[in-house]
Amino acid sequence: MSEILFSYESRPSFVGPFTARGRSVTVYADGSVAGCGVFTRMKKETNLKNLQLAERIMQILDSHKQELEEIPELLDTRVMDGSIDTFCFGEKKITGLQLSRHETELDESPAVFKKPDVRFYVNAVLDIYDEIVDAGIEYGINLRIR
């Protein structure tokens, strides 16, 4: 099995008898891409476009190396429902509940959001994710599952 360059998994934080399973997408260093949707499974395949995408993802991760080192592996957003979101950017694994973009300019946040503010980290994770998704679009590969 090849090294994972990027993966994103979103699954329900609470599971009931009719809860849909989670969704995921993974890009490996050898250029293979695999995914699983709520009702579909994308077969793992490798082709030239995927190899170019893998190279582009390596460049993106390299450009965010310092930022990724500073982001905690667990992002405590104080949310207790929704989805469990797990991102792997190379060897860095980041997990949080219901990760969604925040307005960081507002200074009217609760006391739990002190610097380093978890909202800045969540936004940074989502920025890197969006950059990787945009790279996928350039190569005709949909990596978005959010």
Provide, rounded to the nearest whole percent, the portion of the chain with pLDDT above 70. 75
Q: How far is 61 from 17, CA to CA, in rounded Å?
A: 38
Please report how the helices 48-63 and 118-138 are oriented relative to each other, as an axis angle in degrees rounded to 10: 150
pLDDT tens-digit readout, 82-95:
788 999 999 999 99
CB 135 within 8 A of CB 62: no
- Name residue 24's beta-bridge partners: 9, 36
Strands 41-45 and 92-97, sheet pairing? unpaired
| Sheet arrangement for strand 74-75 | 41-45, 33-36, 23-28, 4-12, 83-89, 92-97, 74-75
Fold of 4-138: Mago nashi protein (3.30.1560)
Rg (CA), the chain: 16
pLDDT tens-digit readout, 104-141:
555 555 544 455 678 889 999 999 999 999 999 998 88
CB 99 within 8 A of CB 122: yes
Domain extents in the chain: 4-138
User: What is the arithmetic mean of pLDDT over 16-42?
Assistant: 73
CB 61 within 8 A of CB 111: no
29's tokens: 């260093």
At residue 80's C-alpha, the angle toward residues 79 and 84, to 5°, is: 85
99 SS3 class: coil
pTM of the model: 0.82
Q: How far is 55 from 124, CA to CA, in rounded Å?
A: 21
User: What is the arithmetic mean of pLDDT over 26-30?
Assistant: 90
